[in-house]
Amino acid sequence: MDCAAHNQEVCREILSHIGASWPDRVQDDLLWEVGPIKERLPDFQIRRVHPLGPGHGYMYFSVGAFASSAEPGWEFFIKAPTDSMRHVETLAVVAHYHAFPQHRLSPGSIVDLGRPWSEGSEHRHLLVSWPHSLDTRTATCATALGEITFLWLVAISESEAAFARRFGVDPLEDRLESAGVNVIDPLRESVV
């Protein structure tokens, strides 16, 4: 099997995993074809998982980011209170950035988006975090390439990003947890 066919098969496995993980939710697939994403990751797409009802958020999962590395490993996801193509764009930007060896992301990485992650938010940075908000069965996906983990892109403020760079990610995550903030609230106050 050639590389392109193999990557397409892994993408199908990832989509099947997401579908099986939330069988009671409406799901659809989205493409982002603006910019150079398809040049680096030709099979890249997004799976959007709709909320069960009011008060539940949307989830957006990258599918195809794994193909940027010889080692299988990462896909990314965003949780958001509202539906927006901005989240699709964000995942495309992050996956494209990750596709370059000098920019490989992993848990603890911080990405400066250069714009708010969500309309009306002041949070312009993303913390690449372990998938604390998912159970272990949904956080990882077994594929023909090996296990792939969905890393959570958590929106953080500029001061939170500076704090994490200076003191480490664990102290920032501890502050977020002890403050009891809703990290998907675009209007949440910074904990630093």
Residue carrying the six token digits 């599918």: 63
Q: What's the pLDDT tens digit per position in 75-96?
A: 999 999 999 999 999 999 999 9
Q: Is-above-0.85 flag for pTM? A: yes
pLDDT at 70 over 80: no
The residue-averaged pLDDT of 58-67 equals 96
The CA distance from 146 to 163, in Å, is 34
Q: Would you state the pLDDT for residue 73? A: 85
Q: Which residue has the higher pLDDT, 101 or 47?
A: 47
- What size, in residues, is the chain? 192
Given the DSSP bridges, would you call strands 74-80 and 146-156 parallel, antiparallel or unpaired?
parallel
**Three-class DSSP category at 126:** strand
